[in-house]
Amino acid sequence: MHALGGGIAILPTAPERLRNRDADYPYRHDSDFYYLTGFPEPESWLVLIAGQTDKAVLFCRDKNPEREIWDGYRFGPDAAADRFAFDEAYSIGDIDRRMPELLLDQPALFAPLTANCHVDRRIRGWMNAARQKARAGHTVPRTQHDLAAMLAEMRLIKDDSEIRLIRRACQISAAAHLRAMRVARPGMHEYEIEAELLHEFRRHGAQSVAYNSIVAAGANACVLHYRAGDTIMQDGELLLIDAGCEYDSYAGDITRTFPVNGRYSGAQRALYDLTVAAQRVAIEQIQPGRRWNEPHDAAVRVLVQGMIDEKLLAGTVDGIIESGAYTRFYMHRTGHWLGLDVHDVGDYREGSAAQQRAWRQFEPGMVLTVEPGIYVRPGDDVPERFWNIGIRTEDDALVTADGCELLTRDVPVDASEIEAIMRDTRG
């Protein structure tokens, strides 16, 4: 803000959401708001003033002993200011009176440019109220900047405390995947495995899932965003699990694919080893100075060569990549940013929209997933031994000064190691 001449930033947290009747969804704060404040309660707004005197102001709920009997502890303005180091804190009931005063004589307004009509309407109302002071010689912000875009750039590089939380989320997530491997048996339902994941998350202190867990048996693994259902796992099928926990608001994100009976068939092993090989070459590209697209491009070349070798596709590697024919079996990118959101903020390209934007270069402190896959639906031109095989292998990588560190290898990816783990639990 100072670099742009100072001004005032306004940011609300997320609202509570009604699930049905008198039941709310479990509350989750806005990630940008939490990134700047650490304050967990709903009905809160942050105001930052950057100028000759910098100031952080919070508006939050009042203490309310009666509501605390029903809903739990509230900080209230006084305790919030003390606990979270705000310069000032006020009741949320005072925000409409105080905000026009805070806007006066500020050169610029920084706010999230979103489609949230409620937020936009509130800010416009405060601006209109502030303009009524113009005859007294006051001014209101003349320019507006997208606060969300600025915070996305800040959040892209994680500091030591964030890395520590992501690392813990990854450790817990890996433990859950190991538990699933040890428990899974033919005849179990997908939702039983989901329950094992949730148990392990909570047992280690994770507050929530980072996203809805994917537990997909057999042909269900060819549905990318499949939710755990009541499908019974069959002997000879694979089970694809894409699951991660949220620990102190930071996400882990892991995918493993393993045989329900503990042994990969020949066709399953061929495609499984192919995805692992694709992931390996992608990981080699993750180092400072390399660009975002390089892991994906490297993984695609390995996958396409494997598709040719297994007679899933015919042609040359370059020709198949140019035509996009491989997307029949591999239709997503090889990764995404990871942090407070499982698909975290941050542009994947550099420069302005008016230019030919280059892919972003990796820098130490970035965290991303690496997740090649292959999904084979039945088809007349598809070898039958591969029908309904869906495989994805996903790990979380921290970019370091000289390469990357995989944060999720507490659960193995090597097929022989996975078989050994499952064999040990079967006696």
Indicate the pLDDT class of residue 115, thresholds 50, 70 and 90. low
Domain residue spans of the chain: 2-153, 157-424
- Average pLDDT of the residues of the chain: 96
DSSP string, 219-279: GGGGSTTPPP-SPBP-TT-EEEEEE-EEETTEE--EEEEEETTS---HHHHHHHHHHHHHH
Beta strands 238-243 and 254-259 are: antiparallel
User: Any idea which residues carry the catalytic annotation?
Assistant: 22, 225, 242, 253, 332, 336, 343, 371, 375, 392, 394
In sequence order, which residues have a C-beta less than 8 Å from that of residue 123 and are 6 or more positions away? 10, 109, 111
24 close to 37: Cβ distance less than 8 angstroms? no
Q: How far apart are CA 103 and CA 108, in angstroms?
A: 9
372-424 per-position pLDDT tens digit: 999 999 999 999 999 999 999 999 999 999 999 999 999 999 999 999 999 98
276 close to 414: Cβ distance less than 8 angstroms? yes
Q: How far apart are CA 395 and CA 316, in angstroms?
A: 29
Q: Do domains 2-153 and 157-424 have the same CATH topology?
A: no
- Signed CA dihedral, 280, 283, 289, 294: sign only: positive
Domain 157-424 is of which CATH architecture?
Alpha-Beta Complex (3.90)
126-171 per-position pLDDT tens digit: 999 999 987 788 999 999 999 999 999 999 999 999 999 999 999 9
84-104 per-position pLDDT tens digit: 999 999 999 999 999 999 999
CATH superfamily of the domain spanning 2-153? Creatinase/prolidase N-terminal domain (3.40.350.10)
Indicate the pLDDT class of residue 52, thresholds 50, 70 and 90. confident
pLDDT of residue 187: 98
Residue count (the chain): 427
Cα–Cα distances in Å, from 22 out to 5, 71, 222, 246, 398? Answer: 47, 13, 37, 26, 42
63 close to 76: Cβ distance less than 8 angstroms? yes
pLDDT of residue 183: 97
134 — phi, psi (to 5°)? -60, -40
- Which residue is it, tokens 């509350």? 27
Q: Which of 161, 207, 201 is nearest to 40 (CA)?
A: 207
pLDDT of residue 314: 98
